[in-house]
Structure 1
Amino acid sequence: MKKIFLILILSILILSFKQKNETTPISKESNSTINDTLTKNLNLAYKKGAIIGFSVSVVNEKGLIYDKGFGFTDIEQKKAYTSNTIQNIASISKTLIGISLFKAQELGKLNINDPINKYLPFKIVNPNHPEIPILIKHLAYHTSSITDLDEVYAKSYILTKDKHDENEGVYDYFNKPENNISLSDFMRNSLTENGKWYSKNTFLNAKPGEKREYSNIAAALCALVIESATGQNYTSFTKENILKPLKMNSSGWSSKDIDTNRRSRLFANKEKMIAEYSLITYPDGGFLTSSKDLGLFLSELIKGYEGNGKLLKKESYKKLFEKQIFASNGTNEEYGVFIEFRDSFLDIKNEMIGHNGSDPGVFTAMYFNPKTKIGTIVLVNTDTDFTAIVWPEIEQIWKATSDYQNTINK
Structure 2
Amino acid sequence: MRNIYWIAAFFGLLLASCTLFHKGSESKPAPATPNYADSLDLLLRGWLDQGNLPGFAVAVFSKDTIYYQRGFGYANLETRQAYTPNTVQMIASVSKTLIGVALMQAVEAGKLNLDDDINKYLPFRVIHPKYPDSVIRIRHLAMHVSGIRDSLYYNRSYLFGAALDKNIFSKEWWPLVEVYNRNQPIEMSVFLEKILSKQGEWYNDDNFYDHAPGAAYEYSNLGATLLAYILERATKEDYRSFTRKRILQPLGMRSSSWEKPQKCRKCSAYYLENGSRVPEYRLITYPDGGLYSSVADMTKFLQEMIKGFGGEGTLLPTRSYHMMMGKQPGGEAFPDGLCWDLSIPCCIGHAGNDFGTSTLMYFEPSTGVGRILFANKSLQADSEATFYGIFNDLFRYDLRK
The residue aligned with 1:111 is 113
The residue aligned with 1:281 is 285
**Does 1:61 pair with 2:63?**
yes
Instruction: Encode CA deviations 1:328-383: one digit per residue, 9 max, x unaligned.
Output: xxx94542111112446xxxxxx111110100111110000111100100001011
The residue aligned with 1:382 is 377
Aligned pairs, number? 374
Instruction: Encode CA deviations 1:309-346: one digit per residue, 9 max, x unaligned.
Output: 1111122112112214889xxx94542111112446xx
The residue aligned with 2:352 is 357
The residue aligned with 1:84 is 86
SS in 1 for 2:247: helix
**Does 1:222 pair with 2:227?**
yes
Q: Which has the higher strand share?
A: 1
Question: How far 1:167 moved relative to its partner?
Answer: 8.2
Structure of larger gyration radius:
1
Query: In the alignment, which of 212, 236, 246 is matched to residue 241 of structure 1?
Result: 246
The residue aligned with 2:342 is 341
What are the within-5 Å matches in structure 2 for residues 11-30 of structure 1?
none
- Identity over the aligned pairs, expressed in percent? 36
Relative to structure 1, the CA distance from residue 47 to residue 250 in structure 2 (aligned partners, 3 Å threshold; closer, same or farther) is same
Higher relative contact order (CA 8 A, sep 6+): 2
The residue aligned with 1:7 is none
Query: Distance between the aligned counterparts of 2:391 and 2:372, measured in 1?
Result: 9
The residue aligned with 1:5 is none
| Mapped contact 2:71–2:85 kept (Cα < 8 A) | yes
Relative to structure 1, the CA distance from residue 259 to residue 55 in structure 2 (aligned partners, 3 Å threshold; closer, same or farther) is farther
The residue aligned with 2:147 is 145
SS in 2 for 1:73: strand
| Mapped contact 1:158–1:174 kept (Cα < 8 A) | no
Question: How far 1:205 moved relative to its partner?
Answer: 2.7
The residue aligned with 2:156 is 155
- TM-score, normalization: structure 2? 0.87
- TM-score, normalization: structure 1? 0.85
SS in 1 for 2:394: helix
Question: How far 1:55 moved relative to its partner?
Answer: 0.5
Amino acid at match of 1:44: G
| Mapped contact 2:164–2:181 kept (Cα < 8 A) | no
Question: How far 1:207 moved relative to its partner?
Answer: 1.8
Unpaired segments of 5 or more residues in structure 2? 1-23
The residue aligned with 1:50 is 52
Instruction: Encode CA deviations 1:385-408: one digit per residue, 9 max, x unaligned.
Output: 3xx42112112211220103xx23
The residue aligned with 2:295 is 291
The residue aligned with 1:97 is 99
| Mapped contact 1:75–1:273 kept (Cα < 8 A) | no
The residue aligned with 2:210 is 205
The residue aligned with 1:399 is 392
The residue aligned with 1:367 is 362
Relative to structure 1, the CA distance from residue 174 to residue 364 in structure 2 (aligned partners, 3 Å threshold; closer, same or farther) is farther
What are the within-5 Å matches in structure 2 for residues 298-337 of structure 1?
298-324=302-328, 332-337=333-338
Query: Distance between the aligned counterparts of 2:324 and 2:268, measured in 1?
Result: 32
Amino acid at match of 1:232: E
When structure 1 is superposed on structure 2, of 388-397 and 274-283 the one drifting more is 388-397
Query: In the alignment, which of 122, 125, 128 is matched to residue 127 of structure 2?
Result: 125
Relative to structure 1, the CA distance from residue 310 to residue 134 in structure 2 (aligned partners, 3 Å threshold; closer, same or farther) is same
